[in-house]
Structure 1
Amino acid sequence: MRVIRVDERELTARLDGLAGLLADTVAGGASVGFLAPLGHEEAAAWWRGRAADVAAGRLAVWVAREGERVTGTVSLALPDKPNSRHRAELVKLMVSREARGRGVGRGLLATAEEAAAAAGLTLLHLDTETGSPAEHLYRSAGWTRAGTIPDYAADPGGELRPTTLYFKRVGVPSAAG
């Protein structure tokens, strides 16, 4: 597996693979903001809409590949307010169904955390569907549960589900270190 940070040009070049990944993720039941069925063109249009944010530095996107095939992605949404420049939101961690269980998600998560720390960020936060497999990944990677919001978002089937908020300090020495 190879993980690369993509710029606007590379995002556009990988559009087909990213759209396939997003559609596959939604078809697999992951709650990433879309209802099923999600068509390839709709998924491609969503990714195309992220290009301006990548170009402007408001969104950092990493892509995991096996050869030329996109197997996963993760992004950091970077804030633009002066009082929040120390933090970012981890968004759209997705792994193709066929690549799950092989460390792709953990590798993408570690990449985003390391890049955030290298950029001087000290706090990351995210939300994920309560009870989803992603919760285990975040807890095992040292993320702290902050709370749960009921009926936060619809899952791909349209059912309202709770979401759990998590945070993690990065780039700062731990109390033990």
Structure 2
Amino acid sequence: MIDYKQLNAVQAQPVLAELGDVLQACVADGASVGFTDPADRAAIDTFWQGIIDSLDGNECDLLVARDNDAVVATVMIDYCGKPNGRHRAEICKLLVHPAARQRGIARQLMKLAEQHAWDKGITLLVLDTRSGDVASQLYLSLGFQIAGEIPAYAESIEGRLDATTYMYKLNSR
């Protein structure tokens, strides 16, 4: 059974290695999520430690999915701290361990992240995804709209420069 939960810094610290395992597996599987070397565990752990350190502020929230108490998926809501952007947030690091895919976990995490953001008064969500990735279809099915595409945006683990698609969703409540 999959359990979904928001983690604060105290709750996230003990699962730092599990968060790293999910990110590392997704990068090794070819995900375009900011990392190009799945073997660079130090960079992955440093990334997650930085996120954990920011969880108790108003910078971001971390939601996870657990299967038998092991973290198998993540999504972050990164809040804009600028005075003119307090109404918006970015969805990032939607990661599902390759061994846990095709079970609806990403869809459920996205629905929970949206609800969480709306409940905090956010009225605009944005995200970006590698153009053509399967994730694009998930986001479209959840009501996100395409804002545009930027070519040669991010380097893949194969060294190729891939385009990214920017998407948004307005709170319809």
TM-score using structure 2 length: 0.95
Q: Is the 8 A contact 1:36 1:157 kept in 2?
A: no
Distance of 2:114 and 2:39 partners within structure 1 = 29
Is 1:146 matched up with 2:147?
A: yes
Aligned to 2:123: 122
* Residues 116-154 of structure 1 deviation map (CA, whole Å, 9 limit, x = unaligned): 111111100000000111111101111101110000111
What is the one-letter code of the residue matched to 1:60?
Answer: D
SS of match in other structure, 1:56: coil
Partner of residue 36, structure 1 = 37
Corresponding residue for residue 11 of structure 2: 10
Deviation beyond 6 Å, 4+ runs, structure 1: none
CA distance in 1, matches of 2:107, 2:38: 27
CA shift digits 1:13-60 (9 cap, x unpaired): 110110000000000100000012333333222101112221222010
Counterpart of 1:81 in structure 2 is 82
Give, in whole Å, the separation in 1 of the partners of 2:129 and 2:161: 13
1:157 matched residue in structure 2:
158
Moved more, 45-54 or 98-107: 45-54
For 1:58-106, what per-residue CA distance to the aligned partner results, in whole angstroms no more than 9, with x for missing partners? 0100010012111100001101111111110001100010111100000
Report if the CA contact (8 A) 1:8-1:52 is conserved: yes
1:98 matched to 2:99? The reply is: yes
**Equivalence for 2:47:** 46
Unaligned runs of 5+ in 1: none
- Taking only aligned residues, the RMSD between alpha carbons, in angstroms, comes to 1.1
After superposition, residues 49-64 of structure 1 pair within 5 angstroms as: 49-64=50-65
Q: Does 1:110 align with 2:111?
A: yes
Q: Secondary structure at the match of 2:147?
A: strand
CA distance in 1, matches of 2:133, 2:75: 17
Once residues 158 and 9 of structure 1 are traced to their aligned partners in structure 2, the CA distance between those partners, rounded to angstroms, is 37
Structure 2: runs of 5+ lacking an equivalent: none
Which stretch has the larger CA shift, 16-25 or 53-62? 53-62
> Sequence identity, in percent?
37
Secondary structure at the residue paired with 2:56? helix
**Cα distance in 2, alignment partners of residues 39 and 149 from structure 1:** 27
- Distance across 1 between alignment mates of 2:43 and 2:80: 26
| Preserved contact between residue 25 and residue 38 of structure 2 (Cα < 8 Å) | no
Report the secondary structure of 1:134's partner residue.
helix
Does the 8 Å contact 2:76/2:113 carry over to 1? yes
Counterpart residue identity of residue 62, structure 1: L
